[in-house]
Amino acid sequence: MTEVVSSCRQALLDARSERRCALIPYLTLGFPTLPASLAVLAAIESMGADVVEIGIPFSDPVADGPTIQRTIDVALRQGVTLRSALTAVAEGSDPGGARLLFSYLNPLLAYGLESLPAALAAAHTKGVLITDLIVDEASEWLDIARSNGVETCFLVAATSDDTRIDRAAESSSGFVYCISTLGVTGARKGVDPAARRTVERLRTRHEVPVAVGFGISRPEDVRQVAAYADGVVVGSALMSALGNATEPADAAARAVEFLQPLLDAARA
């Protein structure tokens, strides 16, 4: 299997050492079209995004709000699957940066967990975040991931007790994803102060890098999170910025225009 050197964990540790915050855009593969989403992926990697979350369409995205649900519906109606998404990404060039597969568990099971690491390597993708897989039920995947050098990221939230935070931190070979607020994904006005408290609880106990997501949409949100976390995830707001730009060049231009102020804020 081809070794993938673009580590999600290292990307956040590098940002920490440089006293800045890693910018982690999320995109749904297949929105607005598969070619357009691939153009967006290339554009945001070229502009300097530290990690890109590659969202896989799934019929029951229970953790996602209406914006990302809409993008997933568009992608599914075009027939985009985990297999076609990974194949399309693999046909592109090695980005030289970090990629994180963002998926629910069912598509991975249908693909075959044992077969996934080789497909990820071909797509220059080092890490996986499985939205609905908790640490308690992850032993099969973790054994496969560890033996193939694939990083895994787990979620924590303000409702996570110390035991849950410990298990997520100890099992995350990539980074820990802190959900900023209870509920589903979607742009909001401001970042819930609970996110900072959750990150601080984790950091008093562990050195694993941590990123904050859900509801990040403005440069001021990025600056706020950068004060206490290693990375910041921007998803719904980026997908909204793409609008109905089905032409690849237009979609890529809109993504860069939206993300540039957020990237500047992350690096300030």
Q: Is 243 exposed, middle or buried (0-12, 13-18, 19+ CB in 10 A)?
A: exposed
Indicate whether 70 belongs to any domain. yes
Band (pLDDT 50/70/90 cuts) for residue 80 is very high
Indicate whether 122 belongs to any domain. yes
Band (pLDDT 50/70/90 cuts) for residue 244 is confident
Q: Are 180 and 213 in contact (CB under 8 A)?
A: yes
Q: What pLDDT score does 190 carry?
A: 64
Q: Helix H segments across 47-104?
A: 66-77, 82-90
- Active site residues per annotation: 53, 64
Give the pLDDT confidence of 132-173 residue by residue, as tens digits: 999 999 999 999 999 999 999 999 999 999 999 999 999 999
Q: What's the pTM?
A: 0.93
Indicate whether 205 belongs to any domain. yes
Indicate whether 268 belongs to any domain. no
Number of domains observed in the structure of the chain: 1
Q: What pLDDT score does 119 carry?
A: 97
Q: What pLDDT score does 5 carry?
A: 44
Q: For the chain, what's the residue count? A: 268
Indicate whether 134 belongs to any domain. yes
Q: What CATH number has the domain bearing residue 25?
A: 3.20.20.70
The span from the CA of 206 to the CA of 204, in Å, is 6
Q: Domain range holding 24?
A: 8-263
